[in-house]
Amino acid sequence: MKNRSLVTIAEHSKEKILYMIELAKQFEENPNKRLLEGKVVATLFFEPSTRTRLSFETAANRLGARVIGFTDPKVTSSSKGETLKDTIKMVSNYADIIVMRHYLEGAARYASEVTNIPIVNAGDGANQHPSQTMLDLYSIHKTQGTLENLNIYLVGDLKYGRTVHSLLMAMRHFNPTFHFIAPQELRMPDEYKIYCKNHQIKYEEHTDFNEDIIANADILYMTRVQRERFTDLDEYERVKNVYILRKDMLRKAKQTMRILHPLPRVNEIAYDVDESPMAYYFQQAQNGLYAREAILCDVLGITLDDVKAFK
């Protein structure tokens, strides 16, 4: 069988992204379809997580699968020196799918090359977070009615933020205009700006963050400054509070604009913003369940027709 791993969203065509949105929509209409009865999903989390792990495990449970795994590598034999390759080969003896988060960039790709069962990348270092991107795309499509021709403002840690890296790659099919708002220390890496140029993706860079800058946004995508990615904690202290979205900054925003955040939030969105109808980050996380049910089915070769036909 062809290995159907989800390692990077860059491998998805425009048609595939729109198909996955349609699949997720089916699960929003009915999340409880026991299409994975008899299957085992392994969730291997070498880094902390709340939403990604719990929504994948909820997705597996709602689809009728059983879940095994770990949330702390210290309680596994990797703490005794077992290699990632051996861990993946072992777990492949027990499970039908591996959902893995790892601190090393490229770990998911490597894992997919040493096993025949599908690997779902639940985040690899500062590299990619494709399942987050599927739920982001689903959320953008649901709130804007389209993915085409949108003004998308990415704010905060654009250097280490794997969610923004995945999102910009996925959006290449839909003629977006990106605005990168970041302090010098956390600006979008050159490799992603080159990616934009190679794929005719329009972008502007800003260091200011105020109501005038964001007035034309369709999507305002806030991100956390990730303490765990800094080797120099003095640098983290300098930039950690650099951008905070307050409610009064939304005065000039389009009424249809929606604020997304992959979460967790620390302090980059003030709590009074939660009351705004533009705040969409908690619904966005809920959409993660439907997007991840779609992903688990897709990597096992279960099609949209199968999902529609299942009662």
CB of 291 to ligand CP, least distance (A): 12
Q: How far apart are CA 304 and CA 294, in angstroms?
A: 9
Judged by beta carbon, residue 52 or residue 139, the one nearer ligand CP is 52
**Binders of ligand CP in range 226-265 (CB under 6 A):** 262-264
**Binders of ligand CP in range 142-171 (CB under 6 A):** none
CB of 287 to ligand CP, least distance (A): 12
What contacts 284, CB < 8 A, 6 or more positions away? 135, 136, 139, 260, 261, 262, 263
Query: What is the four-CA torsion angle of 259, 165, 193, 173, rounded to 10 degrees?
Result: -80
| End-to-end Cα, the chain, rounded Å | 27
Is residue 52 flagged as an active site residue?
Answer: yes
* φ/ψ of residue 138, rounded to 5: -60, -45
Total of residues contacting ligand CP (CB under 6 A)? 9
CB of 252 to ligand CP, least distance (A): 28
Kindly name the residue from 33, 51, 141, 261 that is annotated as catalytic: 51
Among 12, 33, 51, 173, binds ligand CP (CB under 6 A): 51
17-25, 48-56, 232-240, 249-257 -> range binding ligand CP (CB under 6 A): 48-56
User: Interface mask (CB under 6 A) for ligand CP, residues 79-118, using x and -?
Assistant: ----------------------------------------
Q: How many residues are recorded in the chain?
A: 311
**Helix or strand (DSSP H, E) at 153:** strand 151-155
Q: Are the CB atoms for 96 and 68 separated by under 8 Å?
A: no
Applying CB under 6 A, does 49 fall inside the site for ligand CP?
Answer: yes
CB of 261 to ligand CP, least distance (A): 8
Cβ atoms within 10 Å, residue 278: 18
Q: How far apart are CA 208 and CA 146, in angstroms?
A: 28
Q: How far apart are CA 311 and CA 297, in angstroms?
A: 15
CA-based max dimension of the chain: 56
CB of 86 to ligand CP, least distance (A): 25
CB of 227 to ligand CP, least distance (A): 13
What contacts 237, CB < 8 A, 6 or more positions away? none
Judged by beta carbon, residue 164 or residue 253, the one nearer ligand CP is 164
Kindly name the residue from 43, 52, 87, 115 that is annotated as catalytic: 52
Is residue 12 flagged as an active site residue?
Answer: no
Angle formed at CA 112 by CA 13 and CA 189, multiple of 5 degrees: 60
Among 5, 26, 52, 287, binds ligand CP (CB under 6 A): 52
**Binders of ligand CP in range 60-79 (CB under 6 A):** none
Q: How far apart are CA 17 and CA 89, in angstroms?
A: 30
17-25, 50-58, 75-83, 269-277 -> range binding ligand CP (CB under 6 A): 50-58
Cβ atoms within 10 Å, residue 51: 18
Applying CB under 6 A, does 50 fall inside the site for ligand CP?
Answer: yes
Residues designated catalytic: 51-52, 80, 101, 129
Give the binding site for ligand CP (CB under 6 A). Answer: 49-52, 123, 132, 262-264
